[in-house]
A and B are shown apart, each in its own frame.
Chain A
Amino acid sequence: MYTEVLRSIEGIAIFPIMSLLVFVTFFTAMLIWASRLGPDRLAMFARMPLDTTDDRAVPSDQPSQGDSRDREAR
């Protein structure tokens, strides 16, 4: 059923070759672009998760309610 649909497409054999070329071209372009990115911009992107005021500071490494005995012992 579906194989007939695929077979009916004119010149379908060229598609995989074109796909591979798109793959290699895009990938090469991406590598070149990534290697030439400026350090300032990269640093700005990298800081994005930290650039927020929404998270209330709740350090999980502080003694907590359930560890109160532990805290008292100190």
Chain B
Amino acid sequence: MPPAVSAAPEPSLSPDAETFAYDNAVVRKFIVATAGWGIVAFLVGLTIALKLVFPGFLAFIPQLSYGRLRPLHTNAAIFAFAGNALFVGVYYSLQRLCKARMFSDKLSAIHFWGWQLIIVSAALTLPFGFTTSKEYAELEWPIDIAIALVWVTFGVNLIGTVLTRRVRHMYVSIWFYLATFITVALLHIVNSLELPVSFLKSYSVYAGVQDALVQWWYGHNAVAFFLTTPFLGIMYYFIPKAANRPVFSYRLSIVHFWALIFLYIWAGPHHLLYTALPDWAQSLGTAFSIMLIAPSWGGMVNGLLTLRGAWDRVREDPVLKFLVIGVTAYGMSTFEGPMMSLKSVNALTHYTDYVIGHVHLGALAWNGGLAFAMLYYILPRIYGTRLFSVRLANLHFWLASLGILAYSIPLYIGGITQSLMWREFGADGALRYPNFLETVVRIIPMYALRVVGGSLFMAGALVAIYNLYRTARSGVFEPDTVDRAPALAPVAGREHGWHRALEARPTQFAVLTFIAIAIGGFIEYVPTALIQSNVPTIAAVKPYTPLELEGRDLYIREGCVGCHSQMIRPIRAETERYGEYSKAGEFVYDHPFLWGSKRTGPDLQREGGKYPDSWHFLHMRTPASTSPGSIMPAYTWLYSSTLDDSHIEGKIITLRRLGVPYPAGYERQAQADLRAQAEKIATGLRTSGVEAAPDQEVIALIAYLQRLGTDIKNKPAATVASVEGGR
């Protein structure tokens, strides 16, 4: 950290005013990363959107298959695009609000390069199938450790800057930044607890229902504390700056902050309505989701009303335009979200593309809007120039706005259409559309329209990057912006009130924020973990055989969970279509759980025994051969690759450590059992006229699929014995 330089006193400043410089270099680096990774995220998104319309598009490259690219897209959009954007906002505004340079330039550099390295490692592992399969937490354990270390580096730099500030009051934006750091650290560490099998393979320490609860406590709050709170901090700084007027109500911003961080953390279970999660936890999630409307809309109104008297400038200034569309989309998303957490609405929208439309409204308009507003605001200032072209920025605004509409509206229509078709019964009481494919084919035009929307949005982003590049070229970069302020004097006498005192003490503030977010997580999770009756044990449910386990890991590698759920809700339309609804006790050995969140394809929970092995063999090689019109990609590499069973021993040992009751010493028997079962399946396939070898990867996948949901159909041996003994 460069030492502050004492400067000659100025009339308006106290005699001990110090001269210091804000670090613009780190802000510029994050700006470049935001723009670059943004394009990558949009491009990957566009690729997978095209794959739903043209399943053969780039289908010959396993690394570019839909299942493997989807997590790359979500991770790139959240952590690379929005992540770098939030760091732009934090590094720019924090220094100015604290009237201090960042605590340490070295930590800033470690944070920046560490974060980019994590993104690169995600891009190098996810397409190769190294994934934990937990949504937005797919990265494997070595990268998880790196994320934790880099995040702590960011946190130390953040808190260090706050501690060395020259302004007594911590402005509300800083509260949101602190909450972001603390909560994301907690969420990431708790959800990523896993036991490694090898360098890039691990199993979640949680199983089934508990894994689902922890995952969606994380997943929901990743949206809350990675995509919402830091951007609210950004909103509270940049709207007043761009409009040149103070925030509408600072009192409201205080209530907004505390209400939001207290309530958000409880709402995770609304992602698991009608599942095997205990009912009380589902109701808790719904209740808190509805309550969330109040702080969310309080924040939105506060942002928009800050523009009172300045609406005429929104017509002219692209920065304000993007801020307004961002905050408006925040309001829409935060109304839509609670509505979707009502059980009756959720029954309709869950598992459908409606949810994809909803998240893109948030990601593209709220996060994207604020991100681009920031870039348009900051870049000319750190280059000491004007924006190259307001007209191009306006063109970007319209391309982005129309793109968002052309993206979300077709998915809303497609999602509801498909859901209504899933649940429609004919006059005879049977499902009107028993073939799942009928409901897929119907909405393919919507998938095509979504591609148009995504393309428009991406075209807008390219225009923005050109405009920003030309802006940078027309100015001279100023790596340090000099400012002056007196050092913070010690407080004499009593502070004005407990909250006022708290604001002056960032460490205590951070601890309290931690308590606030820990309470919700604690109340949700502890009872589920403690009370065994929450997860009734089903005697017939047994651990996977070694071959099934390998097949399950292939299912994870290929990202099948991105399109197929394994969770049948207790709704008649679902039990008619898929079979017996899912029970919590069926998942006790599932490390990780694979319930999924979207049904581009049908649910697979009761897939076992539904079709012969040969059907699966042909289906995964040429999906349309067994399911005409299917948009599932062909998995030809499962036929040419030999199953790597060299880690099966370690897998059995690891799972036993996690509580899966494999007998002691079974790991030595596992490989022989695996090969015997594979040989049996291959022999069966050959008998039915299909040429198959036992060491093909597809054999393991078939073994797993045929096992799915079959346990509860078998009577437990103990029950059978006691019944027979009683005769």
Name the contact of B523 in the complex, choosing from A3, A16, A41, A62 (C-beta under 8 A): A16
- B33 → A minimal CB distance (Å): 22
- Does chain A have a CB within 8 A of B386? yes
The answer to whether A34 touches B523 (Cβ under 8 A) is no
Closest residue on chain B to residue A41 by CB atoms: B496
- Does chain A have a CB within 8 A of B220? no
Given A30-B499, A53-B483, A58-B385; A42-B96 close (CB under 8 Å): no
- A40 → B minimal CB distance (Å): 11
- A41 → B minimal CB distance (Å): 8
The answer to whether A20 touches B318 (Cβ under 8 A) is no
The answer to whether B515 touches A22 (Cβ under 8 A) is yes
Closest residue on chain A to residue B378 by CB atoms: A55
Q: What string of 1s and 0s marks CB contacts (under 8 Å) between B487-504 and chain A?
A: 000000000111100000
A15 to B259, CA, bound (A): 21
The answer to whether A66 touches B519 (Cβ under 8 A) is no
Given A7-B530, A12-B530; A42-B251 close (CB under 8 Å): yes
- A33 → B minimal CB distance (Å): 5
- B634 → A minimal CB distance (Å): 40
- Interface positions of B from 197 to 239, Cβ below 8 Å from A: 205-206, 236-237
The answer to whether A67 touches B389 (Cβ under 8 A) is yes
Name the contact of A16 in the complex, choosing from B246, B496, B522 (C-beta under 8 A): B522
The answer to whether B483 touches A60 (Cβ under 8 A) is no
Q: What string of 1s and 0s marks CB contacts (under 8 Å) between A42-69 and chain B?
A: 1111111110111110111111111100
Name the contact of A70 in the complex, choosing from B240, B259, B391 (C-beta under 8 A): B391
- Does chain A have a CB within 8 A of B258? yes
The answer to whether A66 touches B467 (Cβ under 8 A) is yes
A63 to B377, CA, bound (A): 15
The answer to whether A64 touches B388 (Cβ under 8 A) is yes
The answer to whether B251 touches A34 (Cβ under 8 A) is yes
A23 to B291, CA, bound (A): 15
- Does chain A have a CB within 8 A of B56? no
- B313 → A minimal CB distance (Å): 7
Q: For residue A31, which residues in chain B have a CB less than 8 angstroms away from its CB?
A: 255
A19 to B193, CA, bound (A): 24
The answer to whether A58 touches B384 (Cβ under 8 A) is yes
- A8 → B minimal CB distance (Å): 11
Q: For residue B236, which residues in chain A have a CB less than 8 angstroms away from its CB?
A: 49
A47 to B526, CA, bound (A): 43
Q: What string of 1s and 0s marks CB contacts (under 8 Å) between B518-534 and chain A?
A: 11001100110110000
The answer to whether A37 touches B526 (Cβ under 8 A) is no
The answer to whether A49 touches B171 (Cβ under 8 A) is yes
- Does chain A have a CB within 8 A of B139? no
Given A48-B97, A53-B483; A62-B386 close (CB under 8 Å): yes
- Interface positions of B from 79 to 129, Cβ below 8 Å from A: 93, 96-97, 99
A33 to B262, CA, bound (A): 17
Name the contact of A33 in the complex, choosing from B499, B523, B527 (C-beta under 8 A): B499
The answer to whether B483 touches A52 (Cβ under 8 A) is yes
Name the contact of A50 in the complex, choosing from B169, B173, B246, B250 (C-beta under 8 A): B246
Q: For residue A22, which residues in chain B have a CB less than 8 angstroms away from its CB?
A: 515, 519
Q: For residue A23, which residues in chain B have a CB less than 8 angstroms away from its CB?
A: 262, 516, 519
Name the contact of A60 in the complex, choosing from B319, B518, B657 (C-beta under 8 A): B319
The answer to whether A60 touches B376 (Cβ under 8 A) is yes
Given A50-B241, A54-B483; A27-B262 close (CB under 8 Å): yes
Q: For residue B481, which residues in chain A have a CB less than 8 angstroms away from its CB?
A: 54
The answer to whether A19 touches B522 (Cβ under 8 A) is yes
Q: For residue A29, which residues in chain B have a CB less than 8 angstroms away from its CB?
A: 498
- A55 → B minimal CB distance (Å): 6
Given A46-B247, A67-B389, 6 new contacts (CB under 8 A): A20-B523, A22-B519, A44-B169, A45-B250, A60-B393, A67-B390
A-B contact pairs, 18 of them (CB 8 A): A2-B193, A20-B519, A23-B519, A26-B258, A26-B512, A27-B259, A33-B498, A37-B251, A45-B171, A49-B246, A53-B483, A54-B482, A56-B384, A60-B376, A60-B377, A60-B387, A67-B389, A67-B391
